[in-house]
A and B are shown apart, each in its own frame.
Chain A
Amino acid sequence: MSRCLTERAIDHVVLERGEVANSWRTERWDSLRLLTPNWQSRLPGFGYEGEDPDGYRSMPETIAFLDRYAGVISAPVETHTTVTSVTGDDPGFKVSTDQGDWCCRTLVLASGACNIARVPALAEAVPPGIAMLSTMDYRNPDQLDRGGVLVVGASATGTQLADEIHRSGRPVTISIGEHIRAPRVYRGRDIEWWMDAAGVLDERYDEIEDINRARKLPSLQLAGTANRTTLDLNALAGIGVKLIGRLAGINDGKAQFSGSLRNQCALSDLKMGRLLDTIDEWASENGLDSEVEPAHRLDPTAIDDAPPLGMNLNNGEIKTILWATGYYPDYSWLNLPVFDRKGRIRHDGGIVTEVPGMYLMGIQFLRRRKSALMDGVGDDAQDLSAHLSDYLDDPAMS
């Protein structure tokens, strides 16, 4: 956004509570690699130029990439500046920080969708002998007791951590709710390449049938693995991770799991099948069938005949529960009437229509399916900076 505003000669400042790429520096586990390949980080006027376009960035590489971009575009970043409150200030906004106040005519919220780890209320019923941590606090397996680990959540984060922790010698059970399975590489190309090429990632928020549903979908069950392997539930079961239903309750130290595991996996397999059908159709229509490997389907997710429905949390087998149950944004400092009943900001493709001059970025399916990806934010910034510029020119007209 800063780069787009500079291009339009709009005077602006970027407030950053820490250093550039702060959440990548301070809120991620050690081994994390981006889920998108290196080539897929096309920012306005900037992109990957290294030797390994199909690899996945480590955290130090991600931080260096964003640092370099901030330098190249000469972004006017005020680091170590924490916003404490934002209020309306006719005309525009008053932004209070721990380094003083700012007044501005327009405001862009790019503070992210993943500020706070979501931990379900039933965590309060976990017996005291069991250590709990969220994926925000997790860094590496050495943090954990030797002994069993219950990973709750099986989207990209849960499956990656289940794999890493189980391989460290701590037997893992993973509790599985709604998730979306996807192969890392399909027909010889990265799944992200296919979704990009076939236009899936460019699907727009105002053209999709049920945008509320699309914005709530969990992240694809992907991992930025060195050998580009698929990390799905079958892969986890293959190394000995136990698959168990969604955690539904904890009573008297006994965890209860939903009997819906089979259907959760069936839904996910069917959804993956539809994505691969779309890819195959697109490949045929575009004459790629002779260039890429033949179409194939993955084996269905294998579930035991009768997965356990309960687990005694007091018998010492489980030492740690890791909550991989998602994140939500922190808007505690935002004092404007823009929230719906679930605490989400009401917006139209990032334009906060009820508060003219206010914009939102970097959240799931903001304007396009790719909006929350590094590769997607550029197109959104182009669109929103154009709207913002029109608004500054004539507040009454936009």
Chain B
Amino acid sequence: MADSDKTVDNGVNVQALLDARVALESMPEAAKFEWRASCEWKDGTYSHSTVEGYFGLGEQQKHKTIFNFDADHPAVFASEDRGATPVEYVLVGLASCLTAGVAAVAQHRNIQLRSVVATLEGGMDIQGILGMDSDIRNGFDGIKVSYKIDADASQKDIEALVAQSQKRSAVYDIVTNPTNVTVEVN
């Protein structure tokens, strides 16, 4: 374990998170969040999504700015490649969630990070989405995440960081467990 008297700064305000946990203990309703995105079709497989508002701590909230996401398919799918594919956004979501978790857990455990790099690979047999073989699922047949971490800690402590980050990750949970999805047309 890391020394307790050194100053570690991974840029994570762990105290604020711990304080929030104490505060929410007495008002669990405020812990209910709703995350939102909207998406507009542009042309072909190209769409444009934005993220701005969300609900949390009992009221409507807003990001500092509107975030924009272009999604499309690449040329091998006879598309124009005007953005990342939707499944790549899933990899991005998983990677950034796990990586944020690594930083937060490291801060909490007094471990200074120097660099954290994740590489993700999601395998997919496209016979599924092309409707060629109903035994093959549409989605990934597996996701492999490889971390290269340089930190002020032993190999075991780094492995424990990454394991704890998975345990507490929202996107990891979304990807590894089923979620009910309701799609309506208005």
CA distance A259 to B163 in the complex (A): 14
Q: Which of A161-205 contact B (CB under 8 A)?
A: none
Task: Tell me how far the C-beta of B83 lies from the nearest C-beta in chain A, rounded to whole angstroms.
Answer: 27
Cβ-defined contact, A248 with B163, below 8 A: no
Q: What 0/1 readout, one digit per residue, does chain B (149-176) give for beta carbons within 8 Å of chain A? A: 0000000100110011011000011011
Give the total of A residues in contact with B, Cβ under 8 Å: 17
Cβ-defined contact, B178 with A251, below 8 A: yes
Partner of B166, one of A251, A260, A306: A260
**Residue among B156, B166, B177 having the largest count of chain A Cβ atoms under 10 Å:** B177
Cβ-defined contact, B163 with A266, below 8 A: yes
Cβ-defined contact, B28 with A249, below 8 A: no
Interchain pairs with CB closer than 8 A, number: 38
Cβ-defined contact, A306 with B163, below 8 A: no
Q: Given A248-B177, A249-B178, A258-B176, do A263 and B159 touch, yes or no (CB 8 Å)?
A: no
A112 at the interface (CB under 8 A from B): no
A267 at the interface (CB under 8 A from B): yes
- The residue on B at minimum CB distance from A246 is B177
CA distance A248 to B159 in the complex (A): 25
Q: Which of A315-371 contact B (CB under 8 A)?
A: 341
A256 at the interface (CB under 8 A from B): yes
- The residue on A at minimum CB distance from B172 is A260
Task: Tell me how far the C-beta of B95 lies from the nearest C-beta in chain A, rounded to whole angstroms.
Answer: 15
Partner of A341, one of B28, B141, B159, B176: B28
B residues in contact with A258, CB < 8 Å: 176-177
- The residue on A at minimum CB distance from B179 is A249
Partner of A263, one of B156, B166, B177, B178: B166
Q: Given A267-B164, A270-B160, do A259 and B178 touch, yes or no (CB 8 Å)?
A: no
Cβ-defined contact, B159 with A266, below 8 A: yes
Q: Which of B121-151 contact A (CB under 8 A)?
A: 141-142
- The residue on B at minimum CB distance from A264 is B167
Q: Given A251-B178, A270-B160, do A263 and B142 touch, yes or no (CB 8 Å)?
A: no
B residues in contact with A273, CB < 8 Å: 156
Partner of B178, one of A256, A260, A266, A274: A256
A residues in contact with B141, CB < 8 Å: 306
Task: Tell me how far the C-beta of A276 lies from the nearest C-beta in chain B, rounded to whole angstroms.
Answer: 11
A residues in contact with B178, CB < 8 Å: 248-249, 251, 256
B residues in contact with A248, CB < 8 Å: 176-178
CA distance A264 to B178 in the complex (A): 17
Task: Tell me how far the C-beta of A232 lies from the nearest C-beta in chain B, rounded to whole angstroms.
Answer: 17
Task: Tell me how far the C-beta of A41 lies from the nearest C-beta in chain B, rounded to whole angstroms.
Answer: 34
CA distance A155 to B175 in the complex (A): 25
CA distance A256 to B166 in the complex (A): 19
CA distance A123 to B67 in the complex (A): 41
CA distance A251 to B173 in the complex (A): 18
B residues in contact with A306, CB < 8 Å: 141-142
CA distance A251 to B164 in the complex (A): 29
CA distance A11 to B178 in the complex (A): 56
CA distance A266 to B145 in the complex (A): 14
CA distance A259 to B172 in the complex (A): 9
A residues in contact with B175, CB < 8 Å: 259
Cβ-defined contact, B167 with A263, below 8 A: yes
A residues in contact with B142, CB < 8 Å: 306
Q: Given A248-B178, A259-B176, do A267 and B167 touch, yes or no (CB 8 Å)?
A: yes
Q: Which of A192-246 contact B (CB under 8 A)?
A: 245-246
A residues in contact with B172, CB < 8 Å: 260, 263
Cβ-defined contact, B176 with A267, below 8 A: no
CA distance A259 to B156 in the complex (A): 23
Task: Tell me how far the C-beta of B65 lies from the nearest C-beta in chain A, rounded to whole angstroms.
Answer: 34
Task: Tell me how far the C-beta of A366 lies from the nearest C-beta in chain B, rounded to whole angstroms.
Answer: 20
CA distance A292 to B39 in the complex (A): 65
Task: Tell me how far the C-beta of B96 lies from the nearest C-beta in chain A, rounded to whole angstroms.
Answer: 18
CA distance A251 to B177 in the complex (A): 13
Cβ-defined contact, A260 with B164, below 8 A: no
Cβ-defined contact, A263 with B28, below 8 A: no
CA distance A341 to B29 in the complex (A): 12
Q: Given A256-B178, A306-B142, A341-B28, do A270 and B166 touch, yes or no (CB 8 Å)?
A: no
B residues in contact with A246, CB < 8 Å: 177
Cross-chain pairs A/B with CB under 8 angstroms, 15 sampled: A246-B177, A248-B177, A248-B178, A249-B177, A256-B177, A256-B178, A259-B176, A260-B172, A260-B176, A266-B159, A266-B163, A267-B164, A270-B163, A273-B156, A341-B28
List 14 additional A-B contacts (Cβ < 8 Å) besides A256-B177, A266-B163, A267-B167. Answer: A246-B177, A248-B176, A248-B178, A251-B178, A259-B175, A259-B177, A260-B177, A263-B167, A267-B164, A270-B156, A273-B156, A274-B160, A306-B141, A341-B28
